Amino acid sequence: MLTATALLSGCATLPSSGPTARQVERGARASQSAMGFQVVNLDTAAFRKLAGDPVDPAGGGDHLASLAREGRVDTIAPGDELQINIYEVGMTLFGGAASFGATGLPDGGDVSARSQRLGTMVVASDGTIRLPYVGRLQVAGSTAYDVQRMIEQALHGKSQSPQALVTVVNSPGNSAYVFGDISRPGRLQLSPARERLLDAVATSGGAKAVSADTLVRFTRAGRTVEMRLGDIRAGGDDDLTLLPGDLIELVRVPRSYSVFGATAKVAQIPFETPAVSLAEALARVGGPNDAQADPSAVFLFRYDAAAIAAGRPPVIYRLNLMKPESYFIAQNFPIRDKDLIYIANSASNPVTKFVGIINQLFSPLLTARVLTNNN
């Protein structure tokens, strides 16, 4: 009897793929647990409560909407390229002199306007441009319409009915920048149409990876916020209206979950689809192992950094697959990025393993004895 007791006591020291359900529950109750995690049974009542809670698709943290602010995209900045045309009638400064008759009109009665294209003007680093007969104009911070009025006022009294047309043909100062895992990275010049974030992504050819596995790293005025591209809705608060100087980086960050314990396949599994349920996650690894698993103790470990920062402890959800309603719950319980699923070992598994070891040790001796007796 003492020998059997001693042998059975050795079961606790046998190798194992992880704790039993009792050990997990005991760890949650232990006062010395530094993490202070809690176990929540995924029964019908708990699932209804979770289903009624607002879902944050980004998994907590800041949203791009926190970067929203007002701004203009039509003001001229250093480095911008301006196309300037001057229109005049009668005596012209830019198109040459016309001869006038006794009536005061040009000979032949030609009173048509003449235009002169002054070429492309680049706004200097001090925000100015220099024009013939006008001199230096401070244009940075002004609109194209404002510059037209400046030119016309400067030419007043020097030319007959001068009219100016100013067009911004290239504006690095009113541009956003898109780069990273995108088909056509580069600079996007903004227009009065007020492009949004998803407009910029579409104009640049779209993300190289699926939107659910693409992270948008948006930087504005020195502050950076990250959010999954698949969580941004067109026209929503997170689909920001772009401003000059915005930096949009797309980074491929595949979502995945891990499975440990009494299963045929311990692995890290990529989502590969926009959403994965707990039932689908278990099916991908073959579910609990019939020979060693405790189907009443499927644990999902979830570390929510935003919740912990708010003072809430990490949560372990326990699913009992021995209850039929648990399969409906598993079908509708969403997996999040970096979730960990642990299928607990059966409490009888150490004893079964120990008996198997004993059989392996003594079976050769029994076989030899049988062969000897037969001879």
Q: Of 289, 313, 288, which is closest to residue 302 (Cα–Cα)?
A: 313
Q: Render pLDDT for 66-124 as a digit per residue (tens, 0 to 9).
A: 999 999 888 999 999 999 988 877 656 665 544 444 444 444 445 556 677 788 889 99
Please state the pTM of the whole predicted model. Answer: 0.68
Q: Which CATH number fits domain 64-72+174-252: 3.30.1280.10, 3.10.560.10, 3.20.20.140, 3.30.1540.20?
A: 3.10.560.10
- Per the CATH hierarchy, to which homologous superfamily does domain 81-170 belong? wza like domain (3.30.1950.10)
Give me the residue spans of the domains in the chain. 14-54+255-347, 64-72+174-252, 81-170
Band of residue 26 on the pLDDT scale cut at 50, 70, 90: confident
Alpha helices in the chain (DSSP H): 2-9, 21-29, 44-52, 144-155, 197-203, 278-284, 305-309, 325-332, 349-374
Q: Which CATH number fits domain 14-54+255-347: 3.10.560.10, 3.10.20.30, 3.30.420.40, 3.40.50.720?
A: 3.10.560.10
In order of 6, 15, 353, the CA distances from 12 in angstroms are 11, 8, 11
Region of poorest pLDDT, from 145-154, 283-292, 309-318, 357-366: 357-366
Helical (H) or strand (E) element with 245: none
Q: Report whether 23 contacts 261 (CB < 8 A).
A: no
Band of residue 33 on the pLDDT scale cut at 50, 70, 90: low
Q: Render pLDDT for 238-271 as a digit per residue (tens, 0 to 9).
A: 999 999 999 999 999 999 999 998 888 888 999 9
